[in-house]
A and B are shown apart, each in its own frame.
Chain A
């Protein structure tokens, strides 16, 4: 019996690798998920002044650190992709491990940030702002994990 390759790697109607197209579909679906969430956040933030006051209790430094970590992790990932395209296996693995490290740093910083906010009473059920705040971050972590 000869081994056959899966259809996902051998057939393409669009000229794009099927696996790559599937990943883009997933990313496209995330546009709808997060787009709705963020659009709701923006509208409520604009029309309810109390949201601005609640947002003042968030940790801007932790948010800035996490954004820096995410941007740097995405740089490492694209460098890993470049190394893989040029058959530089060891370099590609090294960059992927650095990306994973960035993800762990993100989780640690997020844990410290949330611990402080929860200790001050800013929990998921305190107000709609904080429900948005925790839900959006949790969804981002869950989708990134999956």
Chain B
């Protein structure tokens, strides 16, 4: 039942070397202090690395499609939950509403 991988250890080691190379790039990128480069190298490469690990090391590339569909659904739910509520948190007012709580008076570090 399920998929069994026929990948050789050499391929796994090649993938590992690739991941280490991406790690080095993600460490060097932010040192340039260019916002776009930082976003691409720090966050973008992290997403690429996660995709490579899921595909090659966790054998998502040989698993049945149900697994990929399930994971994709989780990502969509995460996006929906976050962006559905983020504007209320990130903004102080909108077209038809404004935040009634004065966050400066809220105890604690309201403004990070």
Q: How many residues of A contact B (CB 8 A)?
A: 42
Nearest A residue to B56 by beta-carbon distance?
A78
**A36 near B78: Cβ-Cβ < 8 Å:** yes
Evaluate contact between B112 and A43: CB separation under 8 angstroms. Answer: no
List chain B residues, Cβ under 8 A from A16: 1-2, 63-64, 66-67
Which residues of B (71-112) have their CB < 8 Å from a CB of A? 71, 73-75, 77-79, 81-82, 86, 90, 109, 111-112
Do A85 and B5 contact each other (CB < 8 Å), given the known contacts A24-B67, A28-B74, A64-B23?
Answer: yes
| B112 and A48 form a contact (CB under 8 A) | yes
Cβ contacts under 8 Å, B86 to chain A: 39-40, 43
Cross-interface CB contact of B4 among A31, A32, A74, A85, cutoff 8 Å:
A85
Q: B70 near A: Cβ within 8 Å?
A: yes
Q: Does B13 contact A (CB under 8 A)?
A: yes
**Cβ A36 vs Cβ B82 within 8 A:** yes
- Residues of A87-146 contacting chain B, CB below 8 A: 127-129
Interface contacts beyond A25-B70, A35-B78, A79-B12: sample of 4 additional A-B pairs, CB < 8 Å, sorted by A: A15-B64, A32-B74, A35-B82, A40-B82
